[in-house]
Amino acid sequence: MCRRTAVGRLAVLTLVTVSALYSAELRLRSKEQPRASWSAFGGSVAATSGFLFVAANSDTSGKGGAGTVHLFERRDSAWVHAGTLSVPEATVEDDFGISMAADGAILAVGAQYADVHGENSGVVYVFERRRNTWHQAAVLSPGDATPGDEFGLTVSVSGDTIAVGARLEDSHGRDAGATYLYQRRGRNWQQVAKLTASDAAAGDLFGRVSLDNRMMVVSADLNDDRGNAAGKAYAFEKRGGKWTEVARFHADDAAPGDEFGFSLVLRGGNAVFGAVGADSHGRNSGAAYVFERQHRQWVQTARLTASDGATSQLFGFSVSALADLLVVGAPGDRNATGAAYVFERRAGAWTQTRKLGASDAAPLRWFGNSVAATDDAIVVGALTDAGTHAGGAYVFERRDGSWSEVARLVRP
């Protein structure tokens, strides 16, 4: 089956170099392309206090079955495999686990290629923890779902609200994109809003989303306001029960091809946007931009790059954050060995404090493809393992003031 977009995290192993990955992602994002025939544990990761989730994306060769999500729980200072989450109706090509987000006792898992409402319309599965066991609680899909929307490529959870991006939704032009919001009422999840950009345009791919309480940021990383695929983002706030667009973001030094908003996270009044195409230290070395909400206004306060930035590093491919800590993935680092960078806010300034790498680092691992952070740990996904397509996830904890690898998670 052909797919409407080339998704970088699932296509990387079919490409020879990092630069080929990135240029292909830009050229083919909205064209029919076959998907790679392999699966990867670590394609996406999520975390909440005491639990880590690692997705094993589906194997389109038909040998590995549909995707699964592996649950790891912290027990006696160790991370222990505590179960596997799956759905019986998921097919090999649904891409169950392409995106995940968790908050407290809620986990949302995207399946962007599910065909419930037509080919590649997409769905999101909601799991909830009850009596220390995770159960499937709901299946989300838009009330106006249409084929090709790819609802579920990106998800975010905050409290009893879930936001889902459908970046190829066409109500304001082909692939203009939309974001849908769901609220839990009792034990049911109900769609409460559909949001689009106030200046929506075809091809923007509005829909990468991060939600934090009553605020939300959504990016359109192929927006052309500042040049072809320079990227743009939007802030929404919930006021009087209604979600309203309140701000727009551009990088101060926006340039064509930056893809500002390729990744994003909103936490504690900080919004962080990855721009994998920024040429800070050579072509596609990447950057991450921090905006802070000051006196009801969003202000760019930092532009972050790797201390050892290099061409095709793809710094900003993934981001995660706590109030005073940021983690930025750079899966292209050192011939796609990959890395993740930790920044901490000290005296009001963001400073790189650690570069994380896998204990078994080697080229073409794509370590940093996905990242997630909690108060307990940082988890970093890697797409491949020792020349295979098995993948892995690495857990780091702060000990004696420094982040150290404490576990390497693999598919049981």
Q: What share of the chain is helix, strand, coil (3-state, %, to 5)?
A: 5, 55, 40
Q: How far apart are CA 7 and CA 231, in angstroms?
A: 17
Beta strands in 65-214 (DSSP E): 68-75, 78-85, 96-103, 106-111, 123-130, 133-140, 151-158, 161-166, 178-185, 188-195, 206-212
Q: Return the pLDDT at 93.
A: 86
| pLDDT tens-digit readout, 163-200 | 999 999 999 999 999 999 999 999 899 999 999 999 99
Task: Name every residue whose Cβ is closer than 8 Å to that of residue 308 and which is 6 or more positions away in sequence.
Answer: 355
State the amino acid at position 67 in one-letter form.
Answer: G
Pairwise CA distance, residues 412 & 405, whole Å: 19
- pLDDT confidence of residue 9: 31
> CB of 206 within 8 A of CB of 220?
yes
Q: Is 386 exposed, middle or buried (0-12, 13-18, 19+ CB in 10 A)?
A: exposed
At 58 the pLDDT is 58
Specify the CATH number of the domain 2-409: 2.130.10.130
Q: What is the pLDDT of residue 376?
A: 78
Dig out the tokens for 140 from the structure. 């989300």
> Would you state the pLDDT for residue 19?
31
Cross-strand pairs, 388: 385
Beta-strand relationship, 151-158 and 133-140:
unpaired
Q: What are the boundaries of each domain within the chain? A: 2-409
pLDDT score at 20: 31
State the pairing for strand pair 378-382/370-373: antiparallel
Largest CA distance in the chain: 55
Which residues of the chain, if any, have pLDDT below 50? 1-38, 60-63
